[in-house]
Amino acid sequence: MTYIHDTIVRLQKTSPAQAEFYQAVEEVLDSLQPILETSEQYKRHAIIERIVEPERQIMFRVPWVDDQGNVQVNKGYRIEFNSALGPYKGGLRFHPSVNAGIIKFLGFEQIFKNALTGLPIGGGKGGANFDPKGKSDGEIMRFCQSFINELYRHIGPTTDVPAGDIGVGAREIGYMFGQYKRLTGNYDGVFTGKSLLWGGSLVRKEATGYGCVYFAQYMLEAKGDTLAGKRCLVSGAGNVAIYTIEKLYQLGARPVTCSDSSGTVYHETGINLETLKELKEVRKVRLNEYVTAHPEAKFIPAADYPADGNAVWRIPAELAFPCATQNELSEADAQALVANGVIGVSEGANMPSTQDAVEVFLDAKICYGPGKAANAGGVATSQLEMAQNASMQRWSFEEVDEKLKVIMKNIFLSASGTAAEFGEPHNLVLGANIAGFRRVADAMIEQGVV
């Protein structure tokens, strides 16, 4: 435990006020104790000291002009964390909560998530404290162009390939790619999550949600169970949540919740996917309008949530899919889920469960798929998009979906096999962290002190 304490203390001095980053590092290092105690080479090569420090941190201002002619300024980030396995790969997040600590935690998690896929991609993340909500298309375009005026110097199809994240969809990717192309004169696969019209991949939009459900399916199958007939809780109402719900229906489950910052919808007979897509993908409005179309459903305002957690996790169900944001599921939420009979949790968001909540799940020995394993389908399909761009091909929906299923199964087998190797077969947190770490660390050792 000394090296964990020493590492966190050092990071608190060198990277102050980055609580989410410390949390992510501590969670990973705690899982790595068994391998660090038996593998002297990782200490000799100072792998921990090197892997917790990004290879490069890019921070810059983003000035842009709003529709009233006023100059606005935001802060932009790109953390190129680790390239031992391939080009930096990870999304861009546009949200007012974005800061250096958030981006570093996301980038650190991305290293191990990308390693677990088995694909040749390193870890990175980026974004800005810009809020696309309430902005016109013209304002979003001008912001994206200004953002890329700085970032274009640091990205490329074999160096750093950003994608979307919260607040960044095909529209934003389009504006950024257009400016990149204008500045460089290159038409290459420098972004993923592109429109299908000009190099995007089928299934990319659905991939994180689909993959999260596939991971749950494999966890249950290993216990001799299935998704069919299971009552499911889903948080969030963005891309990940919507396509988690879609795949749950396809595999015979019944998702009964979704949520956004305004509150939670609870629909006992099952969330109406058509209505949800209309509200969130077309009209882009708050979820409280869901009950207008479905008065039999219940809307729980965020103001009515319990003080120690989130209303979505207090509804009885068998499976839970946190698909909103980091630290959305508290220890009290986890205790409520276990008390209500949940048998599995598969994380669609990045680090959505607090460390105390994770301990509750592990102690209860339920099926628990941590985000870096369960939500890796998004980045895996991004790499499949890179492969299609490089070969100038377009694969069918069925081809990409089948490849996604195989990747998610391999991630599950890698995490579960590693967990069993270290004597904790139910602990996929340990299994995922060690499996991802070993792949990255061994590559770092082979490539020398760089």
Annotated catalytic residues are 125
Least Cα distance to 102 among 89, 112, 93 occurs for: 93
Phi-psi region for residue 357, left (φ > 0), alpha (ψ -120 to 50) or beta?
Answer: alpha
Residues with Cβ within 8 Å of residue 177, at least 6 apart in sequence: 190, 191, 194, 198
Cβ(132)–Cβ(167) under 8 Å?
A: yes
Distance CA(175)–CA(167), nearest Å, equals 13
Cβ(209)–Cβ(240) under 8 Å?
A: yes
- Report the 10 Å Cβ neighbour count for 232: 26
Distances 325 to 98, 135, 298, 321 between C-alpha atoms, Å: 12, 22, 22, 11
Beta strands at 122-128 and 71-82: parallel, antiparallel or unpaired: antiparallel
